[in-house]
Amino acid sequence: MNLKEELVQIASKSREAARSMAKLTSPVKNQILKDTAELLLTRQEEIIKINQGDVQKAKEKNLSSSLIDRLTLTPQRIKGMVDGLADVINLPDPVGEVVKMWKRPNGLQVGKMRVPIGVIGFIYESRPNVTIDATALCLKSGNAIILRGGSEAFDSNQILVDILKTALQKNKVSGDAVQYIPVTDRQAVSELVKLDEYIDLIIPRGGKDLIRTVVEQSTIPVIKHYKGVCSVYLEADADPELALNITLNSKVQRPGVCNAIENLLVHKDIAETLMPGILAELQKAGVEIRGDDDVCRIFPSAKPVTEADWSTEYLEKIISVKVVENIEAAIDFISRYDSRHSESIVTKDYFKAQKFIREVDSSAVFVNASTRFNDGFELGLGAEIGISTDKLHARGPMGLEELTCLKFIVYGEGQIRG
């Protein structure tokens, strides 16, 4: 059997398992997640031992310490997975909800019912706990999942998938509902994303190259979790305390994530008054300031910013700062350089707030709040499988509801079309 045939076999088993998954009741789905949690705890030593093998190999390959950190499973991280499963158990089951129902003049009763998407191909890198987190959400929403993880976490992912399959089988559900691509060859991704006959959605979560490969090759719909180049804009009338707190929080509370900001836009009227103090606080927090001509003049320890900086996702303690003429210039800047992820305005002006909310075309637009809240838990969706940077189907945090789709249901009494 060649690679393609092997993948077709996996995918067609998933398609079959998806039909059973769609019919499961909430108690059964929750029991599968409970059993998974229990198995994670009872098999903890074994998991950690296998994971140490992956970590050892990563060290031998001289992989970066941040990658090795993400790869490593500890009792605390296993507890994190168990807690995550409990969260998903507590979330309402989205399947079967009729979100709307109306009656047509001919008496037809028409509704839209939430149903699972079907088979989800999930392509991710390095962190093995994502195996459990992502699968929990897919199973709770009634889908089958095909996992393709990073090669460094191969053995760790295998045992986690084994646990998931055991939990499925304990509940008389086919283990095929969770499958792992047993090939680390990159070609497997290229073949997988072309199996549109069997797979309904591809979610890639990883670096730029992975996402580009998937987007270019996939014949299956893709929802990307791509980069975040985000801005805070300080209006002329911004409350000084809010301006400082929101800028600092958006940049330094956790700089390595997609909803942290890379750009700060400052209205020209407060460039000489409010801005220097904020930039000084950012520097104190270890942030490197890169500024346009105005910024460098007013705050001489700033380095000159380059054109490329404005659209770079640093994921580090670096910020690019620009003085702008007015809110229109700020919105123009965002539309030109930012990645439509998370943007915030700090202002006391009602009309400016409303204008920013309406006109900024990002997955989440904030008034007087940190961009760091663009997150499934923080916005109240419960868990999330990622933050979509696409506009279609799911925009922003993607939770259980976004792992379902809506079909029309129509109750008639013999109506025919005239």
Residues that bind a second copy (CB under 8 A): 19, 22-23, 96, 102, 104, 108, 110, 113, 115, 117-118, 196, 200-201, 215-216, 219, 221-223, 239, 241-242, 245-246, 248-249, 253, 335, 353, 357-359, 361-370, 372-374, 378-380, 390-393, 395-397, 405-417
Burial of 158 (0-12, 13-18, 19+ CB in 10 A): middle
Place of tokens 């039909």: 19
Q: What's the min distance (Å) between Cβ of 239 and a second copy?
A: 7
Rg of the chain, C-alpha, whole Å: 24
The enclosing H or E element of 330 equals helix 327-337
Q: What's the min distance (Å) between Cβ of 370 and a second copy?
A: 5
Nearer to a second copy by C-beta: 238 or 279?
238
Q: What's the min distance (Å) between Cβ of 335 and a second copy?
A: 6
* φ, ψ dihedrals at 312, nearest 5°: -95, 130
Question: What is the spatial distance between Cα 6 and Cα 148, in angstroms, rounded to a whole number?
Answer: 14
* φ, ψ dihedrals at 163, nearest 5°: -65, -45
Nearer to a second copy by C-beta: 172 or 408?
408
Burial of 366 (0-12, 13-18, 19+ CB in 10 A): buried
Nearer to a second copy by C-beta: 300 or 380?
380
Nearer to a second copy by C-beta: 183 or 199?
199
Nearer to a second copy by C-beta: 63 or 406?
406
Q: What's the min distance (Å) between Cβ of 197 and a second copy?
A: 11
Scored b (16 or more CB within 10 A) or e, 89-101 reads bebebbbeeeeee
Q: What's the min distance (Å) between Cβ of 414 and a second copy?
A: 4
Q: Which tokens hold the place of 352?
A: 């400016």
**Cβ-Cβ contacts under 8 Å for 82 (sequence gap 6 or more):** 37, 40, 41
* φ, ψ dihedrals at 323, nearest 5°: -90, 130
Q: What's the min distance (Å) between Cβ of 306 and a second copy?
A: 20
Scored b (16 or more CB within 10 A) or e, 31-56 reads bbbbbbbebbeebbeebbebbeebbe
DSSP secondary structure, 176-224, as one string: GGEEE-----THHHHHHTT-TTT--EEEEES-HHHHHHHHHH-SS-B--
Closest CA to 200 of 35, 65, 18, 415: 18
Question: What is the spatial distance between Cα 207 and Cα 396, in angstroms, rounded to a whole number?
Answer: 18
Collapsed DSSP state (helix, strand, coil) of residue 336:
helix
Q: What's the min distance (Å) between Cβ of 108 and a second copy?
A: 6
Nearer to a second copy by C-beta: 299 or 356?
356
Question: What is the spatial distance between Cα 399 and Cα 59, in angstroms, rounded to a whole number?
Answer: 35
Nearer to a second copy by C-beta: 296 or 367?
367
Q: What's the min distance (Å) between Cβ of 85 and a second copy?
A: 23
Q: What's the min distance (Å) between Cβ of 196 and a second copy?
A: 7
Q: What's the min distance (Å) between Cβ of 293 and a second copy?
A: 26
Nearer to a second copy by C-beta: 127 or 224?
224
Nearer to a second copy by C-beta: 167 or 364?
364
Nearer to a second copy by C-beta: 20 or 52?
20
